[in-house]
């Protein structure tokens, strides 16, 4: 039902021109101060799309986001230390 998506961070020279990246994928966030865009692309067509995005004159570099590879399930194997700090 849902296609697999991959996140990329696109560093740009001009954040106003970066709004044009919406036609290549799903723009999640645009940073005006640091001049980067977080964009999600379809995994099957990501390589072709990245080649086209890299050719744009306002794009400096593209980095892959590793957010989907970070473990989000946590276990509490550490003992609870709240009893040591109570009065």
- pLDDT tens-place string over residues 22-36: 999 999 999 999 999
How far, rounded to the nearest angstrom, does the alpha carbon of residue 46 sit from its chain's CA centroid?
13
CA distances from 28 to 8, 40, 87 (A): 10, 7, 47
CA quadruple 34, 39, 44, 47: dihedral sign: negative
Pure H helices in 1-87: 46-54
Helix (H, G, I), strand (E, B) or coil at 75: coil
Check residue 23 and give its pLDDT.
93
Mean pLDDT of 69-83: 76
Span 9-67, pLDDT tens digits:
999 999 899 999 999 999 999 999 999 999 999 989 999 999 999 999 999 999 999 88
Fold of the domain spanning 5-68: Alpha-Beta Plaits (3.30.70)
pLDDT of residue 84: 74
* Residue 26 region by backbone torsions, left for phi larger than 0, else alpha for psi between -120 and 50, else beta: beta
């Amino acid at each position: 039902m849902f296609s697999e998506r991959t996140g990329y961070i696109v560093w740009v020279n001009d954040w106003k021109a970066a709004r044009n990246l919406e036609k290549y994928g799903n723009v999640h966030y645009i940073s005006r101060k640091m001049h980067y865009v977080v964009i999600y692309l379809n995994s099957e067509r990501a390589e072709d799309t990245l080649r086209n995005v890299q050719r744009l004159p306002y794009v400096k570099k593209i980095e892959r986001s590793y957010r989907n590879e970070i473990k989000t399930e946590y276990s509490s194997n550490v003992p609870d230390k709240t009893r040591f700090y109570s009065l």
